[in-house]
Amino acid sequence: MLKQQERFTTKGLVYIAIDRTSWGAINILMVSLIYDKRAMPIYWEILDKKGSSNLEEQQRVLGKILDLFII
């Protein structure tokens, strides 16, 4: 088993992706960490509307996770 500090090696660069998807009638705006060609969701919100997210909604979800990555 790997030690905690050996599990993720980013070499100082972290990729974050924003994605909006529908699951049936549920509209989800998600922020994911990109690691080893995989997207791992780290935060999401259910949008109370249909269709695309706007800049304000995208900034809000990014703001929720920024403290995790600022050194």
Q: pLDDT for 9-59, tens place per residue?
A: 556 677 899 999 999 999 999 999 998 889 999 999 999 999 999 999 999
End-to-end, the C-alpha distance of the chain in Å comes to: 27
Residue 23 belongs to a domain: yes
Indicate the pLDDT class of residue 8, thresholds 50, 70 and 90: low
Residue 34 belongs to a domain: yes
Question: How many structural domains does the chain have?
Answer: 1
Residue 25 belongs to a domain: yes
Residue 52 belongs to a domain: yes
Residue 4 belongs to a domain: no
Domain interval for residue 61? 13-68
Residue 8 belongs to a domain: no
pLDDT of residue 32: 95
Residue 6 belongs to a domain: no
Q: Is the pLDDT of residue 71 over 90?
A: no
